[in-house]
Structure 1
Amino acid sequence: MVTSGNNYKDKVSQLISWGHWFSFFNIIAAMLLGTRYIEHSEWPETLLGQLYLGLSWVGHFGFLVFGFYILILFPASFLIPSQRLMRLFAVLVGTIGLTALLLDTHAYETLELHLSPLVWDLLLSGEKTELNARWQYLFIAVPAIFLMQLVLAEWIWRKLRKLTRKHVGVPIAMVFGLCFLSSHLIYIWADAKLYRPVTAQRSNFPLSYPMTAKSFMEKHGWLDRQEYTRRQAAQGIEESEHIRYPMSVLKFDDLGTRQNVLLIMVDSLRSDMVAPETMPYLSAFARQNLNFGNHYSADNTNDGGVFGLFYGLPGGYINSIRSEQTSPVLLDTLQKRGYQFGLFSGNGFEETIYTDAIFSNRLMPNDAATIHSDAQAIAAWKDWLAQQQRKTPWFSYLELTSVESFEEGGDYVPKFTPSLGNMQINPAEADTNVLLKNSYRNAAYHIDELLMDIFSQLVEQNVLDDTIVIVTANHGSEFNETGSNTWGAGSNYSQFQLKVPMIIHWPGMVPESVPRATSHLDLVPTLMESLLNTTTPSAQYSSGISLFDQDTSRRWVLAGDDRSIVVLQKNTTTVVDKYGNYRVYNQDYQLQSEGKPKLSTLMQVMHELKRFYQPEP
């Protein structure tokens, strides 16, 4: 048995030597627990990817445990004079560390997230759910871990002289060091080359931050940043997960109502513009039809908003859809029913989501690329409408872009002058915010006049009574109303960027103003059920529900993309990033320091974001 020396130096020397071996055996324990991450993660297909996995498994857990030793136990060896007390302290630290690692493996298996403020809050929330109950059962292992650490600490102390005489400490440290260094060097190369069998493992292990050197390589001319960005975007599409959309074969009662459909997308039009002063015609149209006044886009970007509207899926699936060039179920069904398609855009469909996915299987007009204004798009639409035969139903998509390009001006006479409250002010004295919003309102007023022309054309052609007309937007636009220095779209998930009009003229339906929360994801189920008469549940082809569903139990609406999950609830907006960090905002999009999402809600959202990736049973 090791006898403690009488002087301070001998005590510290023995404790440091003991601490090294205690850390080594805890590294082995951590590596064994770490196999759960490997089991749950995607297995790399290439030999280099498998080599990196092995090196990072050894090097990362070796560095992780030894790092905690250097930060905690090593200084404590100098501060705690009693050897027994020091060993007990080390046992407690080791127990806490392995318990946290055990909880992290379970979080990774169930939520695909590592321990983070969000996961800890969910774990300690006290909410009675099956997942929370299973997590609490893991704490039964704490006494066993403590006992194991206690036995290990005592055994190493008794065998310390024998272990020290083996002189294997330096070779062991070299093995862990070489594995750690090699794994990071491989990742630096893989990151520059976008070698996915390696880069896909970036977040497999907790507290894993592989080194990159893009700035260094760019500085020395070894990396072209623009080419790198282009290849990175392409890789995100090419290597996305396989999607099952729809999840089952669709079934129908009959051929449906055979009504025409006109879908008008007003880019960047936020819902509060639909007011008698700014858009009198659309405002009157909304009062005379179905007005969903609490409606949200699927995202705050062009691609994400349009994607959610046509597919009924959250933006997280967009890369998979693009990779497989999967056409929307709605358009496929319309095409099978013999619908004629008329597709028109004020900017010539410059957004790639149209050609990559939505209309990839449709016959785009030959002159689509020659259209550069809303007036030209409407003129082309009128010509097309005049040629349609009454016996053949049609689907027409008309995208109007004047609101989105309001800063460029247009060939229309401005209606509004800058004002502050009820007081008119000189444009030269107005600040940038007032001028921008005034220009935006003028563009919305111009669009309103174009919409009146469209509605009049439907009446002239005598097709309005047999045509479903939908007016909406891909997203809104902000003018720093949240006070967070955010403008336009794509900068936050406030109501100014997400809340958009959803106004529907449905022949035979009584006008109604609908106050409940609705989403772009709901349009596809609405048309599939009420126009095309499918009997297949909407969950098989969409994440939304029919706009005509009177169920008031809906507690949240989903938005966001592959980087952020956005949960919109009655008085809060929760934004969760892909690493599990979250922020909760109130209805004015002001950060709430005490806000926490419910575990049950988060689990439902996480399930919805993975449901269409599930393998065949």
Structure 2
Amino acid sequence: MNPSNSSLPYFRGVPLLVWCVSFALLMLHGLPALNGAVQIGYFTAATIAQAALLALPAWLLVRGASATRPGWLRFSLLALLHLYAVGIVLAIDANYQIYALYGFYINGFVWNIISTPGGLEALGFSNSFYVSSALRVLLVAAVYTAAVRWLPLARIANTRPVRAAAAALPLVFLLQGGIYAYADHTGEQQILQSVQRIPWYSPVTAKGLLSKLGVERKRPELDGSLSRRKGKFAYPAVDAQSIVLDKPYNIVWLTSESWRADMLDPRIMPKTYAFARDNVHFLNHYSGGNGTRMGMFSQFYGLHGNYWFDALPAERPPLLLETLRKNSYSLMAYTSARFSYPEFDRTVFRNFSPEQLHSDHEGDPWQRDIRNVSKLTTFINSAKQPFFSFMFFESTHANYSFPAENALETDYLEDFNYLDTDIKSQISRIKARYINASHHLDSQFARVLRALKESGRLDNTIVVITGDHGEEFMENGRWGHNSTFVEQQVKVPLVLHIPGQKARTVERMTSHVDLPITLLSAMSRLQGIDKRQVSLGHDLLDENYRHDYLVVSDWHGSGLIAEDLKLVLSAKASDERGRFFTRNDQPLAEADAAALSRRLIGDYLRETPRFYSRRGKSGGQPSLAAP
């Protein structure tokens, strides 16, 4: 359309169109989750205000175009108007698609996925997903074009009722904002929970003003919004050069994406299960988080996941790998994803050279795993000893990848398209894909173990087999991971082969943070070194091993897991399900858990700052030099 003065009336009604469509989408997705007149009434007012905020950029663009003479600037403003109008509708739809899958909207975590190389790849989109996405874009663009061209939007926008409604918007903003501020101050959960169905809702609080007015504030008996510790990131607290390895065992470390504990089963993974039976098998082992970032970070650093946000800008590698490097280990790492997402090339493997990092991200994940295992076994057979090798397997990541010969479950969903698949109704067939992918994973673990045995190096090698985190299949209302701290999302297998250790199963609760100190203790007497300065974990093989609680983390906070209580401190995870649970995820009343919660929080607040100093800001220490 020619952006002349005569064409402007076509576009003056676009803000009204954006408001109407935004309001309709927000109401359509939000109302089914609400109960009672109070929630519905407040949600409606908040939705009116949110739709107006979403329409505001369109209104500003129209105003700018109206005040500008025909030319390139007006053309640019109107082009932006069209892009914004179509884009905001697609963004609202995408928010609800993401929420349905994972329980959160587009946020900093999602932006990290989009903006980091390898992030979108890691989501495992099928080809049909991209086709469906393109069709949605074309459909929305076509409907928008028809509405702007054929509906009398400008005339409707200029009618007295619409203008009166627009004039009343400031009052609606003040009213819904004031109600929310009061509800936040007094703990009215009906109001607070209703806006969780509105993407990008910006709450208004007024605790100071309401307190001055004499309104009593209701504080939760336990405040779960514990922030990360302040101060300088003081890790490592031990010089890697000072650790002498008395028993420089080789290390083969195998980590699989989204591999939950119950997949290590004699039917699904017979070869790995047989290896576990002959070594040390931990039956109640927990990742350090419900996502790859926290799961990988905790198993190599021995720190809680919330330390990630300091380790990344500091680009500080883990003490364990630095110790190996300074003891002249041959180092090699393989991944069937990318080392750039999450940013492990800047953290865990910060001091590996490019030649020591091998990433394969072409083709199906099961094919990548096969190719990488071939490279890994070649390295094992030829490496100068002692050596460290790591591999990250991708087959068990959604949408769960396997060759036809590994279809242990035959009734599986053949095309798992995130946009078009009804997750809830198809969850058993989706899980069948996951079981098949785990069965394929078993064959690849077996190839690595066979190479170690045939080369005669198993007797002088530590083998670690684990997952970065788990995977849920609607057992507690969600699919996937990165949403809550339920058992299926945070409990993973752990099998350790350490020369000289007898085969046994370990039933006590254990954690990823225990792995670095366990391996270092197996290889060194750590003379003159306080083990508390090595990590927040404990030696898994120590007879006096004990954790009163374990820590799991996500992008937004942490959770504490004890034998008799699971306490959720992450704002995101607690909004999703609540804060107090038994270890097997049955809800608890706050009053029933308060005493134990206070003790756990007290212990957590004393322990977790161990690797922060009070001087200066985090990240101030210089990075260790690359080799």
Q: TM-score, normalised by structure 1?
A: 0.58
The 5 A counterparts of 1:359-508 are: 359-365=349-355, 368-372=358-362, 373-389=368-384, 392-410=385-403, 412-418=405-411, 431-482=425-476, 485-508=477-500
C-alpha separation between the residues in 2 aligned to 1:375 and 1:418? 24
Deviations 1:477-499 (A, max 9, x none): 010112xx211111111111111
How far apart, CA to CA, are the structure 1 residues paired with 2:570 and 2:461?
41
Shift of 1:119: 4.9
Cα separation, partners in 2 of 1:65 and 1:203, compared to 1, 3 Å: farther
Please give the alpha-carbon distance, in whole angstroms, between the structure 1 residues aligned to 2:354 and 2:523: 24
Task: State the SS of the aligned residue for 1:598.
Answer: helix
Aligned equivalents of 1:550, 1:332: Cα separation in 2 = 27
Q: Find the counterpart in structure 2 of residue 63 from structure 1.
A: 209
The 1:311–1:254 alpha-carbon spacing in structure 2 relative to 1, beyond 3 Å, is closer
The whole-number CA distance in structure 2 between the counterparts of 1:441 and 1:295 is 20
Q: Match for residue 572 of structure 1? A: 565
Aligned to 1:226: none
Distance 1:410 1:491, change over 3 A: farther
> Distance between the aligned counterparts of 1:600 and 1:203, measured in 2?
15
2:584 alignment partner AA = D
Q: Which residue number in structure 2 is paired with residue 15 of structure 1?
A: none
Q: Do 1:308 and 1:521's aligned partners in 2 also have CA atoms closer than 8 Å? A: yes
Residue number in structure 2 paired with 1:336: 326
Q: Name structure 2 gaps, 5 residues minimum.
A: 1-204, 363-367, 413-421, 617-627
Please give the alpha-carbon distance, in whole angstroms, between the structure 2 residues aligned to 1:545 and 1:306. 17
Q: Which has the higher mean CA deviation after the structures are superposed, 347-356 or 296-305?
A: 347-356
- Give how far 1:550 is off: 2.0
CA distance change for structure 1 residues 407 and 286 in 2, over 3 Å: closer, same or farther? closer
Residues in 1 aligned to 2:245 and 2:482: alpha-carbon distance in whole angstroms? 40
Question: 1:320 & 1:66 partners in 2: Cα distance?
Answer: 38
User: Kindly tell me: are residues 504 and 432 of structure 1, through their superposed partners in 2, closer, same or farther at Cα, counting changes over 3 Å?
Assistant: same
Find the residue that maps to 2:433 and give its secondary structure. helix
**2:580 alignment partner, SS class:** strand
Counterpart residue number, 1:116: 220
Q: For 1:118-164, what per-residue CA distance to the aligned partner results, in whole angstroms no more than 9, with x for missing partners?
A: 159xxxxxxxxxxxxxxxxxxxxxxxxxxxxxxxxxxxxxxxxxxxx
Q: Specify the SS of the correspondent of 2:427.
A: helix
Q: Do 2:290 and 2:554's aligned partners in 1 also have CA atoms closer than 8 Å?
A: no
Report whether the alignment pairs 1:551 with 2:548: no
Equivalent AA in structure 2 for residue 477 of structure 1 = E
Using the TM superposition, give the Cα deviation of residue 606 of structure 1 relative to its aligned residue in structure 2, in angstroms.
Answer: 1.5
CA positional deviation for 1:570: 1.1
| Counterpart position of 1:583 | 579
Match of 2:302 in 1: 312
Task: Please give the alpha-carbon distance, in whole angstroms, between the structure 1 residues aligned to 2:583 and 2:396.
Answer: 25
Give the secondary structure class of the aligned counterpart of 2:308: helix
Distance in 1 between the 2:252 and 2:292 partners?
Answer: 20
Where structure 1 has 5 or more consecutive residues not aligned to the other structure, the ranges are 1-58, 72-96, 101-113, 121-201, 205-235, 420-427
What whole-Å deviation, never above 9, does each CA across 1:492-516 have from its counterpart, x for those lacking one? 1111111101101111111011111
Query: Deviations 1:422-471 (Å, cap 9, x if unpaired)?
Result: xxxxxx9x941110111100000001011111111111211111111110
Counterpart amino acid of 1:291?
Answer: H
1:527 Cα deviation from its structure 2 partner: 1.2
Asked whether the equivalents of residues 241 and 320 of structure 1 are also in contact (C-alpha less than 8 Å), the reply is no
Q: Secondary structure at the match of 2:347?
A: helix
Partner SS state of residue 343, structure 1: strand
- C-alpha deviations, 1:245-299, integer Å up to 9, x for none? 1234468674320110000001111111111111101111111000011100000
Separation (CA, whole Å) in 2 of partners of 1:62 and 1:359: 47
Cα–Cα, structure 1 residues 264 and 439, in superposed 2: closer, same or farther, change >3 Å? same
Q: Which moved more, 1:537-546 or 1:470-479?
A: 537-546
Shift of 1:354: 1.1
Whether the 8 Å CA contact 1:287–1:511 is kept in 2: the answer is: yes
* Residues 250 and 534, structure 1, Cα contact 8 Å, conserved in 2: no
Corresponding residue for residue 266 of structure 1: 256
Flag the structure with larger Rg.
Answer: 1
- Aligned residues, how many? 390
Q: Does 1:517 align with 2:509?
A: yes
Per the TM alignment, residue 417 of structure 1 is displaced from its structure 2 partner at its CA by 2.3
Please give the secondary structure, in 2, of the residue aligned with 1:500. strand
Q: Describe the shift of the 1:293–1:364 C-alpha distance in structure 2 as closer, same or farther (beyond 3 A).
A: farther
Check the 8 A contact 2:472/2:478 in 1, yes or no: yes
CA drift of 1:517 comes to 0.7
Q: Do the aligned partners of 1:586 and 1:592 also contact (CA within 8 Å) in 2? A: yes
Q: Is the 8 A contact 1:298 1:309 kept in 2?
A: yes
Residues 514 and 365 of structure 1: CA distance in aligned 2, closer, same or farther (over 3 Å): same
Name the SS for the 2:483 alignment partner. coil
CA contact (8 A) 2:569 2:579 kept: yes
The one-letter code of the counterpart of 1:459 is K
The CA deviation at 1:342 is 1.2
Change (3 A) 1:616 1:240: closer
| Cα contact 2:401–2:433 (8 A) shared by 1 | no
Give the 3-state SS of the residue equivalent to 1:255 in structure 2: coil
% identity of equivalent residues: 26
